[in-house]
Amino acid sequence: MRTILPLPAREPKAGRPEVADVWRRRIGGALTQLAIWVPLAIAAGHVVVFTVWTTWVSFTASTLMPDYSWVGLRNYWAVTRTANFQIAYVNLLIFGLGFVLLTMALGLLLAILLDQRVRGENVLRTIFLYPLAVSFVVTGTVWSWLLNPGLGIQKLVNDLGWTDFRFDWLVQSDKAIYTLILAGVWQGAGFAMALFLAGLRSVDGELIKAAQIDGAGPWRTYHRVLLPTIWPIFVTVFVILLQSAIKAFDLVRALTGGGPGISTMLPTLVVYDFMFQRSELGRGSAAAVLMLLSLVVVLLPYGLYVRWQRQRQARA
């Protein structure tokens, strides 16, 4: 810089901002780091610390308050033997599969229909996405009225003249779990649709044109070209829905409250019940740890899959 003699007067002016720039950049960089790492560390700390603590408590004799005397697997044994717990996991299987598969099917159908460049697509998309803006508690409450045979759909149809019509799943022990699926699908289908639609729109137009030139009809285009191209989105939607099914709590609490009887118990409800209704912290923690394990069972294959795919892409 000093060699540029024709402009000596400018040198100090040019020098100062440079120094300030460096500092500004440094502070900015530090702030960015701070903004990322501090919350991340706190969040991770919370998750890790409380997970470890809950796991620890699950091996202790804690009841009303934490009590750190070791009892081994006794809480696990006691919890898994309760009718509540067994019903909850059977229900999770029914609800999880029903909710995830139906939501994906309906979401995909809506996405494909919307993909036909229909008029008023934005309005329709908003309408279908709207349930997502409603919390599960509200969904549960609204559906608990709609499905109540004495107030909702059944009464409406009966009053219209079809007096034999029965739609009383909500109060039937063996069918109430399907009302959860119904309400869950209503809520989740719009979300699945949005993801699928985004996927469909992201497919290269050339690909579709090529398929059309080759004489593929709409069915074949979707079946053979579009859907296989967006299959990673299927995996994503599947995992997001499945983990939300496993941790479903508010929906069942508002819609059936675990009833009739204990027929719609879900694992989350069991945890809540043991911890906060029965004041058995040890057993509640054991149920919570078992829930975490069931989430791991779902998320671990997904994580491995993502890793495998990344490696494959790196190789390609």
3-state secondary structure of 5: coil
Q: CB of residue 167 vs other proteins: minimum separation in angstroms?
A: 12
Using the rule CB under 8 A, which residue among 61, 101, 129, 149 binds other proteins? 149
Question: What is the spatial distance between Cα 143 and Cα 237, in angstroms, rounded to a whole number?
Answer: 24
Using the rule CB under 8 A, which residue among 115, 183, 222, 273 binds other proteins? 273
3-state secondary structure of 70: strand
CB atoms within 10 A of CB 20: 10
Torsional sign, CA 16, 19, 23, 26: positive
* Residue 91 CB contacts under 8 Å (≥ 6 apart), including other chains: 177, 263, 264, 265, 266
Q: With binding defined as CB under 8 A, does residue 157 bind other proteins?
A: no
Q: Of 51 and 279, which CB lies nearer to other proteins in the complex structure?
A: 279
# chain residues binding other proteins, by CB under 8 A: 33
Type of residue at 33: Q
Question: What is the spatial distance between Cα 298 and Cα 221, in angstroms, rounded to a whole number?
Answer: 32
φ, ψ for residue 165 (rounded to 5)?
Answer: -60, 130
Q: Of 6 and 72, which CB lies nearer to other proteins in the complex structure?
A: 72
Using the rule CB under 8 A, which residue among 54, 62, 75, 84 binds other proteins? 84
Q: With binding defined as CB under 8 A, does residue 55 bind other proteins?
A: no
Using the rule CB under 8 A, which residue among 106, 114, 146, 147 binds other proteins? 147
Q: With binding defined as CB under 8 A, does residue 166 bind other proteins?
A: no
Q: Find the part of the chain contacting other proteins (CB under 8 A) among 33-41, 74-82, 124-132, 201-209.
A: 74-82
Which tokens is 311 given? 């490696």
Q: Find the part of the chain contacting other proteins (CB under 8 A) among 28-36, 97-105, 273-281, 287-295.
A: 273-281
Q: Of 102 and 170, which CB lies nearer to other proteins in the complex structure?
A: 170
Q: With binding defined as CB under 8 A, does residue 64 bind other proteins?
A: yes
- In Å, the largest CA–CA distance within the chain is 101
Q: Of 115 and 280, which CB lies nearer to other proteins in the complex structure?
A: 280
Q: With binding defined as CB under 8 A, does residue 65 bind other proteins?
A: yes
Considering only CA atoms, give the Rg of the chain: 28
Q: Of 48 and 83, which CB lies nearer to other proteins in the complex structure?
A: 83
Q: What's the 3-state SS for 132-181?
A: HHCCHHHHHHHHHHHHCCCCCHHHHHHHCCCCCCCCCHHHCCCCHHHHHH
Q: With binding defined as CB under 8 A, does residue 83 bind other proteins?
A: yes
Q: With binding defined as CB under 8 A, does residue 231 bind other proteins?
A: no
Which tokens is 239 given? 């995992």
Q: With binding defined as CB under 8 A, does residue 86 bind other proteins?
A: no
Question: In angstroms, what CA-CA distances link 140 with 89, 95, 117, 161?
Answer: 20, 15, 33, 28
Q: Find the part of the chain contacting other proteins (CB under 8 A) among 23-31, 43-51, 130-138, 251-259.
A: 251-259
Q: With binding defined as CB under 8 A, does residue 221 bind other proteins?
A: no
DSSP annotation of 60: B
Q: Find the part of the chain contacting other proteins (CB under 8 A) among 16-24, 146-154, 156-164, 243-251.
A: 146-154
* Residue ranges that bind other proteins, judged by CB under 8 A: 63-65, 78, 81-84, 144, 147-151, 168, 170-171, 173-174, 255-257, 259-263, 273, 276-280
